[in-house]
Structure 1
Amino acid sequence: MASAEAALDRLCDPVAQVSAHWLIAEDGRLFRLVPEDRRAWHAGAGAWGAVTDVNSHSLGVELANDGAAPFPAPQMAALESLLRGTMARWRIPPAGIIGHSDCAPCRKADPGPRFDWARLARNGLALPTPQGCADGDDAAFVAAMRRAGYTATGDLPHLLAALRLRHRPWAKGPRDARDTGIALGLAARLPVDPARSPA
């Protein structure tokens, strides 16, 4: 959307059939749109781990952004504050913080390549990118991604795009040993409790 106001109008329009628990404007203003104990319609069709109805098992946080611009410092600070609160209230571990591109990689690319996942990870608010490279064929990569929670698709191009959007946003070309190393590192982490996984 072009602005937070445009996003707010859409999220509050019953005709649009989309909603979220929270919206954060570029300047850090926070809008509570749906109580956290109620279902919002932000994730659409997607899956994470064993959960196939992400809307019913998640808290939706939307960030006002046109899809190409960086995320401003006030907006990121407001997001960090919100995450600390929601993670404490609902006992969500860092592994439970995911993006739309994680749970619906065939349909969604947000929050996109300019979102600072590393900043969240440094502050304990998301999983860090695993280190290292690993050998393995395409089937091993897909299997590792599915064990890591990426169960919405088994399609290699979409899984590779989802991994890179979050962990290697400027990487190009075919899957390589770095991608496989990240996927295996994610799969080796403690399993996510899907019932507490915000998207």
Structure 2
Amino acid sequence: MTSFEADYRKAIVQPSPNYGERADGRKPDMILLHYTGMPTPEGALEWLCRAESQVSCHYFVHENGDIVQLVPEQRRAWHAGKSVWHGDSDINSLSIGIEIANAGHPGGLPDYPKAQIEAVIELCHDCGERWSIPSERVLGHSDVAPRRKLDPGENFPWNDLYEGGIGHWVVPTPITGGRFFQRGDQGQPVEALQSMLSLYGYGTEITGEFSDKMAGELEAFQRHFRPERVDGIADFSTIDTLHRLLATLPRYAA
């Protein structure tokens, strides 16, 4: 790709050859956040701009808050891979992908610098306003690809984004004792929990059986919304947090 004009005025353009057209004329209605998961930002950015990598994103956010745009927002960047949300499986065609420079789990989950998070918040505001993206559709890669992906990780400050007007969040219900569900359990309570996860957007199958797949989806939910403990077990804290999130969604609040 030759150079193009940045959609976000503060971004520096560094074109990636890895892009395509959004399917069926779709427009972005989701922002998907990733961490790079590589030792250095420079290496990650270079990889996203190499044709042989077959991966890209729309924006890359450095640790100091500098932002690079690799693909125009009108185009389909290659960042989500095999993913699903609310039944949609072509997440690349309906999302804006933002890679955040952070070594992630391979690098020991380093903290995200304040300047970087402030830049992510401002960028998400700009993209969200331009495309009228609902707050609950600012998600992590792990939300749309449970078990396969872990980014942006359980140390990503989703609460800070929410305080900055980005994303959907409730204060997690404190972890206590009590009844819980886990792998191997089955029955109506498990089916009800699967229905709640599916209503929120996860690709959870409603079978009444607590499978390894369901445990992975619960881990993804916990990693985003109850990061204090990510274990794939449906304890009261996890279930109540999910219930309160659903209750505060505009489509269910009424």
State the TM-score, normalizing by the size of structure 2: 0.70
**CA deviation map 1:104-152 (0-9, x unaligned):** 012111000110000111122010126659x883322221011100126
Give the Cα separation in 2 of the matches to 1:72 and 1:29: 12
Q: CA deviation at 1:185?
A: 2.6
Alignment match, 1:66: 103
Alignment match, 1:197: none
State the TM-score, normalizing by the size of structure 1: 0.89
The 1:152–1:75 alpha-carbon spacing in structure 2 relative to 1, beyond 3 Å, is farther
- Structure 1's unaligned 5+ residue stretches are 193-199
Q: Does residue 128 of structure 1 match 2:169?
A: yes
Q: Does residue 34 of structure 1 match 2:71?
A: yes
Alignment match, 2:53: 16
The 1:139–1:45 alpha-carbon spacing in structure 2 relative to 1, beyond 3 Å, is same
* Secondary structure of the corresponding residue to residue 77 of structure 2: coil
- Structure 2's unaligned 5+ residue stretches are 1-37, 180-187, 207-212
* Secondary structure of the corresponding residue to residue 151 of structure 1: coil
Alignment match, 1:196: none
**CA deviation map 1:173-192 (0-9, x unaligned):** 53211111122233342359
Give the Cα separation in 1 of the matches to 2:191 and 2:242: 12
The 1:125–1:73 alpha-carbon spacing in structure 2 relative to 1, beyond 3 Å, is same
* Secondary structure of the corresponding residue to residue 19 of structure 1: coil
Give the Cα separation in 2 of the matches to 1:114 and 1:38: 30
Aligned residues: 192
Contact 2:169 2:245 in 1 (8 A): no
* Secondary structure of the corresponding residue to residue 74 of structure 2: coil
Give the letter aligned to residue 201 of structure 2: G
Q: Does residue 137 of structure 1 match 2:189?
A: yes
Give the Cα separation in 2 of the matches to 1:107 and 1:191: 29
Give the Cα separation in 1 of the matches to 2:140 and 2:230: 21
Decide which moves more: 85-94 or 182-191.
Answer: 182-191
Give the Cα separation in 2 of the matches to 1:80 and 1:19: 21
Q: Does residue 190 of structure 1 match 2:250?
A: yes
Give the Cα separation in 2 of the matches to 1:52 and 1:19: 18
- From 159, 172, 180, the counterpart of 1:118: 159
- From 150, 162, 172, the counterpart of 2:220: 162
- Identity of aligned pairs, percent? 35
Q: Which has the larger radius of gyration?
A: 2
Greater per-residue strand proportion: 2
Give the letter aligned to residue 6 of structure 1: G
- From 103, 115, 136, the counterpart of 1:95: 136
- Structure with the larger RCO, 1 or 2 (CA within 8 Å, 6+ apart): 1
